[in-house]
Structure 1
Amino acid sequence: MPSHRITRKPRMFRRPARAYLQAWLAGLLMLLAPLAGATGGLETPDHGLLLHGDGRWIASLAMDTTVHMRVHGLLAEVSVRQTYRNDASQWREGRYLLPLPENAAVGGLSLRVGERLIEGEIREKEQARATYEAAAAAGLRASLVGQNRPNLFSTAVANIGPGEEVEIEVRYWQPVRYRDGVFSLHLPLSLTPRYLPDRETDQAGPRDPERLPMAAAAQAAHGALPPTVALTAEVEPGLPLQSICSPTHAVTVAAEGYTYRVTLAAGVVPGDREFELRWEPVPSRAPRSAVFTDRVGGEDYALVMLVPPTLETPPLPRELILVVDTSGSMTGASMAQAIEAADRALARLRPGDRFNVIRFDDSFELLFPGPVPAEPAAVARARAFVRSLRADGGTEMLPALRAAFQGAAPTGYLRQVVLATDAAVGNEDELLRLIENERGEARLFPVGIGSAPNGHFLRKAAELGRGSQVLVRDVNEVAEAMDGLLAKLDHPALRDVHVDWPGVAEAYPRRIPDLYRGEALQVVARLERLQGVVTVRGLGPQPWSRQIPLGAESVAPAPGVARLWARARIDELEDRLRRGGDEGELRPQILDVALRHGLVSRYTSLVAVDRTPARPGGESLGSTRIANATPDGSLALAQGSTGWSRELLLALLLGLGALLLHRRN
């Protein structure tokens, strides 16, 4: 049965409570048991126990996460270790939706049971699932990692015995981002539930973004506490740093020679927001270009980064279309951030600009029938309209985007569509097809809102929309983030970018997007040989080019670049599939790349099986889905899983009890 957690306090931070406080809380929860029966159950604040409607406390399954990041230059290797602990008397299967970065190349799985370590194998998805389910039914411990979306994976662990702990480790590689003179790495630790329109879409992909495999013998799932997270990072930047910090979490940084060791200051935190780490080089040592190489199976691979100069040009008059997501998933801090972002954009309109505002949830609404001149009265009306927005309903983004792209800007104007959203959509492919096919000459600039936005959609929307994206996680960040984005709108650095490789090369992305002020070009390639020079050319106010040597002493070896190339190759093939390509032709190509490089994809999964017998034949296997933490700043009643009136009544009763206890103290 689903359950609702009444605290986000990490289990590791459990503090002793007075006996009367424990008794008072237990009594209050007992009184609320009838309500719990309506919503599926209540959880105690700090233990793996659930209170069900009949007043019984039952043991549950808990899962905690430990993340370790190893960064070398422009490449990060990350391990996500999940420890499942079964406090129940029944053998259980644990299942979890694992959000990962949108460009993660997932290629490693280990299953640890006591002193035994079993390495996972990459197989076709159907074969991997059949292997897992057969092992689960036979009482063997097993684990499965599959892909639901490019940035959303599922993990499953079968046959965790009563009182046992079983650990799995998922490993992936991702490129480090370099933008505005700062390196950064991010990891989503939760997700905003996705909205799927009622109509049939995305025939090439899974219909349900939260679909998970389940053991054949599994019984109905019980709830479990959201996981906690511990995280460390070892950063070898290869150049002196001016600073290293996290804008999302309090961290402790210690320099150990040329390596920086980063840990969470709190030790363990709830997994309710994305983690980001940033490091800034000393200005005089900031890189202009870099090359990292890898050799796998007799083939050479290279990751090339180049920071082009910002070539100053007078800004064009703009036709700014603001599209604001007001759906239910934006309830809470996300809506406040979206309002501030839209207001900031309106405040920066210049005389001579044109604009309009579109808001959407289940339906959409245009403030003006069409774009209007940015005169003071019109801007004031728009700012008042934006300030009045409230979040409710579903995320029907497609009609609003189509309205934003309709028509054409007047001669001499450049239409720029700024989309403020948490991108809690399940029909990504349908939306990306619209952006690719119907945007015309417009440029799309997604603004990711909230603590757990859909990074895959935001990145692809910016790429296909020939724009740039920015994330806003806090109201206090809005001014800086929006000012930076709007400055980029005024100053594209390079357009029509091309990369010329020596000899035969297969490089991605094949179509390089426009680059804006402060942005770096990153391209990964499989090469015929690691020699010669790479030439990057593009158009600013005038043609520009630069050459980067491949055989120079500055070229650094970096195991993992080949996997990044394979992930990019798969991404390109899936783009062709989304555009209507022949699955019969493209599926074998995706399978070939994924199996050769050991990567999880839409057609491949990782599976690990411990052949040591575990569950006795007479014991049944239950199944527990570990809940993702509610994203920080959002409201649980916005999820739509239970009646809001019950949630509100429960909150009022608990608040009254806390007030009475406070007055007594």
Structure 2
Amino acid sequence: MERCCGLVTDKKEKVPLKSVEVDVQVQGHVATVSSTLLYVNEEEHPLEAVFVFPLPAECALCHFSAKLGDVEVVAKLQDKQKAREEYDDALSSGKQAFLLQESEQSPDIFQLNVGSLPPEQSAAITLVYISELAMQADDALRFCLPAVLNPRYTPRDVDQSQMATITSVPADAVPYTLAVRAHLSSPQPISKVESNCSLEPLEYLNSDKTGAKVSLSSGHMFDRDVELLFYYQDAHKPTAIVEAGQESTEPGYLMKDPIVMLSCYPEFPASVTSSLASCGEFIFVVDRSGSMDCKMHSGKDAKMRIDSAKDTLLLLLKSLPMGCYFNIYGFGSRFEHFFPKSVEYNQKTMDEALAKVNGMRADMGGTEILQPLKHIYSQPCVPNHPRQIFMFTDGEVGNTKAVLDLVKLNVHSHRCFSFGIGEGASTALITGLAKEGSGHAQFITGTDRMQPKVMQSLRYALQPAVKDISVEWTLPDGVSVTTLSPPLKVLFHGQRALLYAQLKGESPGNPEGSVTIQYSLLDQTVKNQLNFSLKPAGGTGVTVHRLAARALMRSMEMEERARGPEAKAVREKLLELSLQSGVSCAHTAFIATHKASGETVQGPLLHRPVPTPGMFFGGMMPMAMCCSAPMPQPMRQMARSAPRKMVANCAAPMARMFGGGGMGRKNIRRGGMGGKPLESASCVPPKAEMDGCMEKEASLPDEDFDMEPESPQITDPLLQLISLQKATGSWHMDSSLAKVLGTTEDKLAKGEPKGVDKAVWATVLALIWLHGFQLKARDEWQFVAMKAASWIQAQKVGNISQCVEAGNALLGCTVDQKTLGL
């Protein structure tokens, strides 16, 4: 039986996109990415190919061109509305046209229209963007090429006509290939390159290892985003890079003057990282939408996302310090909270919360993050307990910009740590939450375990921060500086800041300037002075300029949304900056037109949506791809009605995508090319192919289901042990503990040293077991062990050495007392 998943129509027309080739040029903390998409029209009529695809959230899209045979057409950047009209006019007059634009709602989704591609002709589309590389907890720089794009949930209050229609298919059904090559250049030697995908061996290009290249192995499956991790020596060394301005640019423009990019990534010594706060208000916000009932990955023994989240909550609740405050929110189409307001952490509240965690299901419909955040921010903060929000979501939302605006508005009252669960999580949402909330972002993809990454973020939340940050410039007479980045007030462990500044004016000769970055960390003052040339050698390019422009435009976009109807002046400045820098924004689009001959192309123009890989039900075939197929009766009983998830509907009018235009609106109104009506190719399969497909209005994974699965029992011995720990950090002697330790309660009682309290004995045994049998998972249980050791020390046990010796003998371990923290 053939699949009908957006790859072919009922007439068996083929998807025009054949291959994607990506070249990544990495220079220090920045990547310049060139993607070439090869389109071939193998049909009898001219077509319009529509491709909705993800890009990194903060990238600066700066080039778009099309090569038709030996002719290259370079696109121009202009006002989005004008670009759409020009695109429509070009198609109506028989020209070939190409349109590239950013989504109205989320900066990590773009749409490419390849219009009026004649039969048997190919077109190589190239787009170039620049992106800052995210810093990881182990000092790696992370480059992510988003490959998976799941349909985004449309909240109730968002106009669905403003949302992109995403055509998704399973990973093994994507009809085009992907090739990725990366070239690295760094001031510091390159230690290694790692990836979640199979790579060819790393090849160094020079003896000092400051240059290297690597490529993705052939045969890549679109079952995950492509992640590359670059490791440099001296990762914490601050840098100041100066890029010369463009001589041809008019004075007064950003691109005319030199731009400085400062990198600040403070190193936290062990004396600081070991200092953990014992206070705080911890709010855990957990996605309970239907898509959380998908598997974490496609491998063997993969857990459901919701079950992994529940295991993580167990670990977090056991790791919190006594006396702090906490609450847990679950959200979907609606939201709920465990307690009316944050409660003090003790045995009673912990037990209550764990009982509710055990009953959590992925049963709350769609993914609406905005409302629970509004409720959290409306609650007064607990005095002397800094608020820390931990957000867990698979990130399939449509109103990303509105969510980030809200987080930024409340940044002074909290920190936000975000966790993107599974493939296809929105990079704009996950990284944006952490950036605007001064926190840290983590992505849990492939076979990654959620628990160690979350505990790493908890450690960051409890550690001191870099404060009193100052940036002072020393420049010669006649030269001034304008900072383009928001003021840097605080930096937490794991955070790196890239700051941009514009140098204005001139000074004779070839003068130098310097910048001093100073900050305090606990009782220490750290000062770094960086010298740089005010007139760097020519040929430095415009990479830093465009990143600075992108950073400035993001701030202006937020200001524009905040001002609402009074934002006309901001919008005009934003549009001007976008056009003069060549970097697209929400108000601009790239447009290219080409007329191959003087004759109008005859025949109907076909619409061909190009599918992106999507993850549904843990890798099952998406059930909304066959748009007009009736839903089988068993699925009717499972699925709710009234869906709001954006379905991939090939037969839907494409004119309403991306702000309601740019999809041949005038062609439709005018009756198509040459006076003939446009054909709209729908995915209506033969009757035999309807099995497993839902009807057009069927709900996707983010909707409720009637059947509620039972919560699985904890089978992981580590989690079993942790589940038995008390809020104080101690364990009680009972048969459950004995079972986890691999013995009996009688043997534990016989091995107990005389005069030792049973709880102390049980807690020492638990600590020895963790160090002796679960050392590889230390990142997960480190706070559990710290609480246990602190509790034992508070009991002032006189014969603790004897206790540890007896515990080692009983469990067959050789863990010393110092290792246990005793």
Corresponding residue number in structure 1 for 2:572: 588
The corresponding residue for 1:192 is 150
Aligned length: 592
Q: Give the residue type in structure 2 aligned to 1:159.
A: S
CA deviation profile, 1:144-181 (whole Å, cap 9, x unmatched): 11111322211111122223321100001112233442
Query: Which residue type is aligned with residue 214 of structure 2?
Result: V
TM-score by length of 2: 0.66
The match for 2:590 among 594, 606, 616 is 606
CA separation in 2, counterparts of 1:71 and 1:644? 48
Compare the two structures and name the one with the higher strand fraction: 1
- The 5 Å alignment of 1:12-411 reads 28-29=1-2, 41=4, 49-50=8-9, 52=10, 57-148=12-103, 149-180=106-137, 181-199=139-157, 208-210=162-164, 227-257=176-206, 258-265=210-217, 267-282=218-233, 285-297=234-246, 298-310=256-268, 312=272, 313-332=275-294, 333=296, 334-392=305-363, 393-411=365-383
Change in CA separation of 1:63 and 1:513 when aligned onto 2, cut-off 3 Å: farther
Secondary structure at the aligned position of 2:449 is classed as helix
User: What is the CA–CA distance in structure 1 between the aligned matches of 2:388 and 2:497, rounded to whole Å?
Assistant: 22
Distance 2:633 2:489 in 1: 48
Cα displacement (A) at 1:236: 1.5
Q: Which residue of 1 aligns with 2:493?
A: 517
Relative to 1, partners in 2 of residues 1:143 and 1:233: Cα closer, same or farther, differing over 3 Å? same
Query: TM-score normalized by structure 1?
Result: 0.81
Gaps of 5+ in 1: 1-27, 30-35, 213-223, 655-665
Residues 105/433 of structure 1: CA separation in 2 closer, same or farther (3 Å cut): closer
Residues 5-44 of structure 1 show CA distances to partners (whole Å, capped at 9, x for unaligned) of xxxxxxxxxxxxxxxxxxxxxxx44xxxxxx8xxxx456x
Partner Cα separation in structure 2 for residue 558 and residue 631 of structure 1? 39
8 A Cα contact 2:31 2:132, kept in partner: yes
Q: Secondary structure at the match of 2:258?
A: strand
The Cα shift of 1:409 comes to: 4.1
Say yes or no: does 1:618 pair with 2:602: yes
How big is each residue's C-alpha offset from its partner over 1:68-127, in whole Å with a ceiling of 9 and x where there is no partner?
101112221101111112232221111111311111111101101112211111122122
Aligned CA distance change for structure 1 residues 113 and 652 (closer, same or farther; 3 Å): closer
Q: Matches of 1:195 and 1:635 in 2, distance apart?
A: 18
> Which residue, out of 372, 382, 387, partners 1:415?
387
Cα distance, 1:57–1:467 mapped onto 2, change above 3 Å? closer
Partner of 2:788: none
- The structure that has the greater radius of gyration is 2
Q: Distance in 1 between matches of 2:14 and 2:24?
A: 33
- Conserved? CA contact 2:424–2:614, under 8 Å: no
- The Cα shift of 1:602 comes to 1.6
- Whole-angstrom CA distance in 2 between matches of 1:639 and 1:571: 36
Is 1:441 the counterpart of 2:413? The answer is: yes
The 1:286–1:433 alpha-carbon spacing in structure 2 relative to 1, beyond 3 Å, is closer
Q: How far 1:331 sits from its partner (Å)?
A: 3.2
What whole-Å deviation, never above 9, does each CA across 1:428-469 have from its counterpart, x for those lacking one?
A: 333234334456623222222221222222333223323222
Q: CA deviation at 1:290?
A: 1.3
SS of residue matched to 2:148: coil
> RMSD of aligned C-alpha atoms?
3.3
Q: Which runs of 5+ in 2 are unaligned?
A: 167-172, 247-255, 297-304, 506-510, 637-687, 693-822
Letter in 1 for 2:39: Y
Matched, 1:541 2:522: yes
Distance change (3 Å), C-alpha of 1:79 and 1:439: closer
Aligned counterparts of 1:645 and 1:255: Cα–Cα separation in 2:
56
Identical residues among aligned pairs (%): 22
- Please report how far the alpha carbon of residue 500 of structure 1 lies from its aligned counterpart in structure 2 after TM superposition: 3.2
CA distance in 1, matches of 2:66, 2:42: 20
Distance, in Å, in 2 between the alignment partners of 1:143 and 1:652 is 35
| 1:515 partner SS | coil
Q: Which residue of 1 aligns with 2:549?
A: 566
How far off is 1:360 after superposition? 0.8
Q: Is the alpha carbon distance of 1:293 and 1:438 closer, same or farther for their aligned partners in structure 2, counting shifts above 3 Å?
A: closer
Deviation of the 1:294 alpha carbon:
1.3
Question: CA, structure 1 residues 505+270, in 2 after alignment: closer, same or farther (shift >3 Å)?
Answer: farther
**Matched residue, 1:577:** 560
Quick one: structure 1 residues 226 and 363, their matched pair in 2 at CA, closer, same or farther if it must change by over 3 Å? farther
| Post-superposition CA distance 1:474-493 (Å, at most 9, x none) | 46331321121111101143
| Aligned counterparts of 2:82 and 2:464: Cα–Cα separation in 1 | 48
Change (3 A) 1:592 1:410: closer
Q: How much has 1:141 moved relative to structure 2? A: 2.1
In structure 1, the partner of 2:481 is 505
Q: For residues 256 and 521 of structure 1, do their structure 2 counterparts lie closer, same or farther at Cα, with a shift above 3 Å needed?
A: same
The residue type equivalent to 2:591 in the other structure is V
Offset, 1:278: 0.8
Assess if the C-alpha contact under 8 Å between 1:292 and 1:558 holds in 2. Answer: no
Shift in CA distance, 396/177, structure 1 to aligned 2, threshold 3 Å: closer
Task: Give 1:589 shift.
Answer: 0.6
What SS does the aligned partner of 2:440 have?
coil
1:304 Cα offset (Å):
0.9
Query: Could you tell me which amino acid in structure 2 is paired with residue 385 of structure 1?
Result: K
Q: Secondary structure at the match of 1:269?
A: coil
Which residue identity does 1:606 align to in structure 2? F
Distance 1:387 1:254 in 2: 49
One-letter amino acid of the counterpart of residue 493, structure 2:
R
For 1:103 and 1:521, how far apart are their aligned partners in 2?
Answer: 14
Verify the 8 A CA contact 1:331 1:635 in the aligned structure 2: no
Structure 2 CA distance for partners of 1:438 and 1:261, relative to 1, 3 Å? closer
Does residue 466 (structure 1) correspond to residue 438 (structure 2)? The answer is yes
- Secondary structure in 2 matching 1:504: strand
Residue 322 (structure 1) shift? 0.6
The question of whether the paired residues in 1 share the 8 Å contact of 2:484 and 2:502 is answered with no
Once residues 225 and 174 of structure 2 are traced to their aligned partners in structure 1, the CA distance between those partners, rounded to angstroms, is 19
Give the superposition deviation at 1:277: 0.9
| Residues 64 and 75, structure 2, Cα contact 8 Å, conserved in 1 | yes
